[in-house]
Amino acid sequence: MNLELTDEQAALRETTRRFLAERAPISGHVRRLLDDPTGVDEAVWRGLADLGTTGLLVPEEFGGAGMTMVEAGIVAEELGAALHPGPWLSTAVAATRALTRLGTNGDAGKILTGIADGTTIATVSLSRANPAVEVDEQGDETVLRGEIAGMPDAAAADILLVFAEDSRGIGLFAVDADSAKVSLAPERGIDQTRKQFRVTLDAAPARRLAVASSDDVAAVIDDVLIATAADALGAARAVMDLAVEYAKVRRQFGQVIGSFQAVQHLCVDMYETVELARSGVIHALWAADADVASPGADSASGERHLAAVRAKAFAGRLATVGDTAIQVFGGIGYTWEHDAHLYLKRLLSWSELLGSPDRYLAELGARLKNRGR
């Protein structure tokens, strides 16, 4: 595992960072889309696709870059730092990894091609199978019935990818989001940059893309946790940098507040948390790639899952970076006009994604205990 970025990876980071600063700033882009159900600006999404970021994980045979989770993590971190809304994680990571891990048949290949060129937005139901979704075979047609809670970016999506179980096992199904048999209800959370929906399928026509094992579904969930951890890392890093810069210029009692030991300790605490999280995220991205390189290997999949659990278990501490930054900002940090609260909300939403950190801490402790036997 290499902890240093290559020249190409550094260039990807700088290009993405510059694009977001110029084309999708928080003031003119993110805040404008807070109440938009899709979180998408077509010109910005087109720009991300033209940079190749939507197709980073798509195999080259489908028009993608065929890169690794490390590159995806680099982009995710920059998107988190810019508080970027919209379906990049759902499309470029979750949907793409689901399709590539489970096989690329004709229908899946078409979706991957659309993801790579930016013409298709897809999202995945992040569940090991949806017990509330029924699969009904009607001759040559397959339809899905039921409800899916907390489906990210469904309003922006062209394709909904749904895990559901029938007599053949767990299947990955594709549903056209614009079907008259699909209805969406927004689920409002603390973070307005994250759009989630309750999806109702009323005999919605579906295409079976693959048959999945429970391990396959777990691997996709791990990939999503790892990539979202990189996004959270970017958000924590950015709000920490804002607080540190503020501490250098804000004056109280005739001195900059950064000269006070209490403020210095707060800044050091933030830095320590961010850097500890960074090492965990880098390792998790590497482990996800190692797992794909060695499919079916128990040691590889075990390392991937343990790395994902570690990254998620640290979520609560990353959220404290947002809390601490607001302490450094003082009164201005509590205002709507300042961006600090938006970063805190992003970090809190990561903390609660797919369960609270306590659940993952308990699993991590049990796994480490069993390893020692």
| CATH number of the domain residue 226 falls in | 1.20.140.10
Shared domain check, 227 and 203? no
Shared domain check, 172 and 239? no
Last residue within a domain, chosen from 142, 177, 212: 212
How high is the pLDDT of residue 238?
98
Rounded Cα gap, residues 136 and 141, in angstroms? 8
- Does the residue 144 lie in any domain? yes
- Does the residue 2 lie in any domain? no
Do residues 152 and 121 touch, judged by C-beta distance below 8 A? no
Dig out the tokens for 132 from the structure. 């509330």
Helix or strand or coil: residue 4?
Answer: coil
φ/ψ (deg, to 5) at 330: 70, -145
- Does the residue 60 lie in any domain? yes
How high is the pLDDT of residue 142?
92
Shared domain check, 306 and 186? no
Do residues 341 and 333 touch, judged by C-beta distance below 8 A? yes
Do residues 342 and 26 touch, judged by C-beta distance below 8 A? yes
How high is the pLDDT of residue 130?
61
φ/ψ (deg, to 5) at 141: -105, 145
Shared domain check, 358 and 249? yes
Q: How many CA atoms are closer than 13 Å to the CA of 359, on its beta-carbon side? A: 8
Do residues 288 and 93 touch, judged by C-beta distance below 8 A? no
φ/ψ (deg, to 5) at 154: -65, -35
Shared domain check, 252 and 200? no
How high is the pLDDT of residue 292?
58
How high is the pLDDT of residue 61?
94
- Which residues of the chain fall below pLDDT 50? none
Task: Provide the residue range defining the domain that includes 78.
Answer: 7-117
Rounded Cα gap, residues 90 and 347, in angstroms? 17
- Does the residue 320 lie in any domain? yes
Shared domain check, 245 and 223? yes
How high is the pLDDT of residue 138?
76
Q: How many domains does the chain have?
A: 3
How high is the pLDDT of residue 316?
81
Shared domain check, 366 and 226? yes
Shared domain check, 133 and 58? no
How high is the pLDDT of residue 288?
92
- Does the residue 332 lie in any domain? yes
pTM of the complete model beyond 0.85: yes
How high is the pLDDT of residue 314?
87
How high is the pLDDT of residue 367?
79
Shared domain check, 168 and 201? yes
Shared domain check, 181 and 45? no
- Does the residue 347 lie in any domain? yes
Shared domain check, 360 and 232? yes
Last residue within a domain, chosen from 168, 183, 212: 212
